[in-house]
Amino acid sequence: MSSYAPRVEQMDISGIREVFEGASEDDINLGIGQPDFPTPEHIRTAALSAVGEGLVDSYTGNKGIVGLREAINEKYERDNGLSVDPDNVIATSGASEALHIAIEAHVQHGGEVILPDPGFVAYEQLALLAGGTPKPVGLRPDLTLDPATVEDAITEDTDLFIVNSPANPTGAVQSKSDMQEFARIADEYDVVCVVDEVYEHILFDGEHYSPMEFSKTDSVVAVNACSKSYSMTGWRLGWVTASNDRIERMLRVHQYVQACASAPAQYAAEAALKGPQEPVQEMVSAFETRRDVLLDGLEDIGLETPRPEGAFYAMPKVPDGWAEDVLDNGVIVVPGEVFGDRGAGYARLSYATNVEELKEALEVMKSVTQTTLH
């Protein structure tokens, strides 16, 4: 009799999906992790032009079209002061695939994967899928990941640790000194640091720094995508960059699970990275306004909320049963425990929706909180 792979039996369906399935179409959605803006017109036009010119009818190279990989190098030079060899980039089906091939290529059977808790739901599941052992570690009170906590968690069985900044679900942003320490730890312990920088440009306070800027070895693997910064979640276009040796190992996984990223999406991403960046800045400005509306409302309600400096999420501390009661009253939020055991007592709120709906949702949250506490 056939049976299922034990590593798959350990995995769970995303708790975020379960929340959505229990919701009504009329609910106010503060659970969705995607911008509510259209993909900028010049990006759509580039994709349509590539289709019209017959450029997308065949497989591209496994790593992706040269123009896109050159655009990714230009992005790193412009935004991070780094030079990335286009040969050391793989275009992927979103950051999801980039994370998958990075973890799959580096985690040995039973190898430990240190990850933030609360953290993005995919990290633990992808570690299990790779046959690894997830090792969640707690966060600081401001919901940033402490390098000392990561260093203390490393053992001879540790293969990899994950850093996410700006972070999902917390909106927290790691400091320059933190990123320097993560790079040092990866170099010193010969452990891979996978840095998830998908929300890199959705930043309100301070600056974004990458461990790639400070690593003295090839210990950092960087994952990014067009999904959030350019409102292209449905296009499914991300990438991973690392040393040539690491890229060649990840390519072995990528070429068998994906062959190549979607060709139209690659041309769209090239236009996104090379074209005008004003639409990104306009979107980020709108998110900052929404963040401030949400934080003011949560403070008025009396819910303590670590101040998010990026992404489009906030994680207030909430009473027991609060998230379920809010959902019952027509507002979708995600219980914090979906993102790890240490997420219990929090809820993730996405402010990727308009100000009017945010204000309506805050009224519901205020009513639920008053009822719950009294």
Q: Tell me: the pLDDT tens digits for 47-68?
A: 999 999 999 999 999 999 999 9
Could you give the CA distance from residue 284 to residue 108 in angstroms, rounded to a whole number? 39
* 147 and 186 share one domain: yes
191-222 residue pLDDT tens: 999 999 999 999 998 899 999 999 999 999 99
**Across 230-243, average pLDDT:** 98
Question: Is the predicted pLDDT of residue 225 greater than 90, yes or no?
Answer: yes
Per the structure, the count of domains in the chain is 2
Residue 1 belongs to a domain: no
Look at residues 250, 274, 298 and tell me which one is the last residue of a structural domain. 274
- Which pLDDT score, from 0 to 100, does residue 374 have? 63
* 263 and 324 share one domain: no
Cβ pair 117, 137 in contact under 8 A? yes
Q: Which domain holds residue 218?
A: 41-274
pLDDT-derived band at 22, boundaries 50, 70, 90? low
* 169 and 232 share one domain: yes
Residue 295 belongs to a domain: yes
Furthest CA-CA distance within the chain: 65
Cβ pair 331, 27 in contact under 8 A? yes
- Which pLDDT score, from 0 to 100, does residue 3 have? 86
* 246 and 294 share one domain: no
- Which pLDDT score, from 0 to 100, does residue 350 have? 97
180-191 residue pLDDT tens: 999 999 999 999
Cβ pair 170, 306 in contact under 8 A? yes
Q: Which two tokens stand for residue 60?
A: 């591209």
Residue 223 belongs to a domain: yes
Residue 182 belongs to a domain: yes
* 308 and 227 share one domain: no
- Which pLDDT score, from 0 to 100, does residue 371 have? 85
% helix, strand, coil for the chain, step of 5: 45, 15, 40
Q: Which two tokens stand for residue 36?
A: 């509510």
Strands (E), the chain: 28-29, 89-92, 112-116, 133-137, 158-164, 192-196, 220-225, 238-241, 313-314, 331-332, 334-335, 347-350
Cβ pair 200, 166 in contact under 8 A? yes
CATH number at residue 146: 3.40.640.10
**Across 231-248, average pLDDT:** 98
* 268 and 173 share one domain: yes
- Which pLDDT score, from 0 to 100, does residue 311 have? 98
Question: Is the predicted pLDDT of residue 15 greater than 70, yes or no?
Answer: no
Question: Is the predicted pLDDT of residue 366 greater than 90, yes or no?
Answer: yes
pTM of the predicted model as reported, rounded to 2 decimal places: 0.95
Could you give the CA distance from residue 355 to residue 39 in angstroms, rounded to a whole number? 20
**Across 277-299, average pLDDT:** 98
* 165 and 144 share one domain: yes
What's the CA angle centered on 278, arms 272 and 281, to 5 degrees? Answer: 105
90-115 residue pLDDT tens: 999 999 999 999 999 999 999 999 99
Residue with more model confidence, 356 or 19 = 356
Look at residues 274, 291, 320 and tell me which one is the last residue of a structural domain. 274
CATH number at residue 355: 3.90.1150.10
* 67 and 110 share one domain: yes
Residue 289 belongs to a domain: yes
Which residues have C-beta within 8 Å of that of residue 162, sequence separation ≥ 6?
113, 114, 115, 116, 119, 123, 193, 194, 195, 196
**Across 69-91, average pLDDT:** 97
Question: Is the predicted pLDDT of residue 372 greater than 90, yes or no?
Answer: no
Question: Is the predicted pLDDT of residue 20 greater than 80, yes or no?
Answer: no
Question: Is the predicted pLDDT of residue 118 greater than 70, yes or no?
Answer: yes
Look at residues 220, 241, 274 and tell me which one is the last residue of a structural domain. 274
Provide the mean pLDDT of the chain: 95
Residue 341 belongs to a domain: yes
Cβ pair 219, 187 in contact under 8 A? yes
Which residues have C-beta within 8 Å of that of residue 53, sequence separation ≥ 6?
none
Residue 31 belongs to a domain: yes
Residue 352 vs residues 20, 45, 230, 328: alpha-carbon distances, Å: 15, 25, 13, 21
Residue 223 vs residues 11, 153, 195: alpha-carbon distances, Å: 22, 23, 6
Question: Tokens 């190992």 belong to which residue?
Answer: 249
* 186 and 226 share one domain: yes
pLDDT-derived band at 140, boundaries 50, 70, 90? very high
Cβ pair 33, 352 in contact under 8 A? yes
* 121 and 254 share one domain: yes
Residue 20 belongs to a domain: yes
- Which pLDDT score, from 0 to 100, does residue 333 have? 96
pLDDT-derived band at 17, boundaries 50, 70, 90? low
* 77 and 204 share one domain: yes
144-193 residue pLDDT tens: 999 999 999 999 999 999 999 999 999 999 999 999 999 999 999 999 99
* 270 and 293 share one domain: no
